[in-house]
Amino acid sequence: MRTKDKKQKIEHRYLSSLSDLTSSERLTDLIDTVLTEAKRQGASSAEAGANLAQGLSLTVRLGELETVEHTRDKGLGITVYFGQRSGSASTTDFTPAALRDTVRAACTIARYTAEDACTGLADPDRLAKDIPDLDLHHPWNPKMETAIDLAQLCEDSARRLDSRISNSEGATLSTHEGLEVYGNTHGFLGTVAATRHSLSASIIAQDEKGMQRDYWYTVSRMSSGLEPPEAVGKQAAARALRRLGARKLSTRRCSVVYEAPVAASLLSHFVSAVSGGNLYRQASFLLNHIGKPVFADHVHIYEQPHLKAALGSAAFDGEGVATAPRDLVKDGVLEGYVLDSYSARKLKMQTTGNAGGVHNLTIEPGDRDLTGLLKQMDTGLLVTEFIGFGVNVVTGDYSRGAAGFWIENGEIQYPVEEITIAGNLKDMFRGLVAVGNDVDTRGNIRTGSILLDNMAVAGS
């Protein structure tokens, strides 16, 4: 089928699906129905969440439309409590009979599970009372022809940048719109409508020494917040080109800069280590570290859950608990954990409003950009990509495959590949030298590039 014919055939199917995205009133009624049914069937308390979502994802490769996926999902889940016993069930069928059967299934499970003193709803006094508008909902329903044109423009910009751009894995445009309602028998009811749109390109460069691949992407709650398609394509191509001629390094110890897009992974390991599930299982190297120094003394890590239109913003967590700005690390000292109600009770603490994860976790940036950090490092390794996963949160042992660039006199000398970065997270956190001001805001963890001292680099 020709590309034009594909556009015409798919466009009608996509546009016609938008008009039946059910309103929040219907989901609210569903939540009320299942909570009432749970009480009727004998539950002492219950909580339920319902969601509706729709989206479009299309990929253009070598100038031609390759794939189109239109999604439309719905679901409802309920957890019931019979004292200290709990049971959960879910359904995608919103008919009255199916809802009753779902509640019955949850109740049956609860009656046969063991008691757990820590189970139950979040404490009523921790639930959100005032829910601010965080500006998360910006629907974007481009015509199919427009969406394809944007993806083609992105890829074409990459392919035209240099004659060494030999191939492409494609450019992908995605739009997503979702509506979620959560409620419980403490009387809490909260609604979240949110959108997320993105455009990405993955490009292959080739010269006489071989091929290299790299990518770039932009993501935002609103279409106007996306980078221009030409910029995304050119950035993906430039990143692939600069990796041509990559070499291996000999094994050594040196300073390392994590480029901002990969530096977030370092903070994600920290989050895992201070998360309630790992802590109450005694499976974290940061167990019993509240009030102790865990990072270099200049490090400040905090949550910003109420940032307007940010990707990690939330007025309440997955249990309805109000979120609030807070410090996790201040002056290098661990100030708090990441807890939901269950893990908090296990640890004899209070929930931190993190059922479902952290909200815009941020590490305070310094006054240098990436170029400045490389000058500060002088000689060492710039890491731009990780390959594989080798992190033990119990011991802090760290080992990951990587690629990037060797730096001398603060300048890139040549690309490197097939190396491994190794160390222990305790030492890495304490040896964090500086954080750049080139903050990457494309995710739930917001960080600039990070300079670490004295890392083991294994090569040839």
| Domains within the chain, CATH numbers bracketed | 3-241 (3.30.2290.10), 246-460 (no CATH)
What are the φ and ψ backbone dihedral angles of 11, each rounded to 5 degrees? Answer: -60, -45
Q: What is the pLDDT of residues 270-313, one digit of tens each?
A: 999 999 999 999 999 999 999 999 999 999 999 999 999 999 99
Average pLDDT, the chain: 94
Q: Would you state the pLDDT for residue 16?
A: 35
For the stretch 80-123, pLDDT in tens is 999 999 999 999 999 999 999 999 999 999 999 999 999 999 99
Residues 6+ apart with CB under 8 A from 384: 239, 259, 261, 262, 403, 404, 405
pLDDT band at 362 (very low <50, low <70, confident <90, very high): very high
Neighbour order of strands in the sheet with 445-446 = 333-334, 326-330, 301-303, 361-363, 445-446
Q: Using an 8 Å Cβ cutoff, are 211 and 205 in contact?
A: yes
Alpha-carbon span 325 to 358, nearest angstrom: 11
Closest CA to 346 of 102, 186, 14, 120: 120
Determine the distance from the C-alpha atom of residue 152 to the mean position of all C-alpha atoms in its chain, rounded to a whole number. 26
Report the alpha-carbon distance of residue 198 to residue 174 in Å, rounded: 5
Residue type, 19: S
> What does the pLDDT average to over 218-233?
98
- Which residues, 6+ apart, have CB-to-CB distance to 67 below 8 Å? 57, 58, 59
User: How far apart, in whole angstroms, are the C-alpha atoms of residue 174 and residue 56?
Assistant: 5
What percent of the chain has pLDDT above 70?
A: 95
In tens, the pLDDT along 113-155 reads 999 999 999 999 999 999 999 999 999 999 999 999 999 999 9
* Residue 19 pLDDT: 34
Query: Tell me: the pLDDT tens digits for 414-438?
Result: 999 999 999 999 999 999 999 999 9
> What is the mean predicted confidence (pLDDT) over 47-55?
96
pLDDT (mean) for 199-219? 97
What is the spatial distance between Cα 186 and Cα 392, in angstroms, rounded to a whole number? 39
Query: Which amino acid makes up residue 441?
Result: T
- Residue 287's pLDDT is 97
Instruction: Place 73 in a pLDDT band, splitting at 50, 70 and 90.
Output: very high
Question: What strand order describes the sheet that includes 45-61?
Answer: 85-91, 64-82, 45-61, 165-184, 189-207, 210-220
H helices of 283-369, in order, are 341-346
Burial 148-185 (b: 16+ CB within 10 A, else e): bbbbbbbbbbbbebbebbeebbbbbbbbbbbbbbbbbb
Q: Across the strands, what pairs with 321?
A: 127
Q: For 369-376, what is the mean pLDDT?
A: 98
pLDDT at 2 over 80: no
Check if the beta carbon of residue 168 is closer than 8 Å to that of residue 159: yes
- The confidence score (pLDDT) of residue 388 equals 85
Give the tens place of pLDDT for each residue, 252-266.
Answer: 999 999 999 999 999
- Transcribe 91-125 into DSSP letters: ES--SHHHHHHHHHHHHHHHHHSPP-TT-SPPPGG
Two tokens, residue 14: 């996509």
Give the containing element (helix H, strand E) for 418.
strand 411-424
Measured from the Cβ of residue 330, the count of other Cβ atoms closer than 10 Å reads: 16
Output the pLDDT for position 359. 98
Find where tokens 């398609």 sit.
229
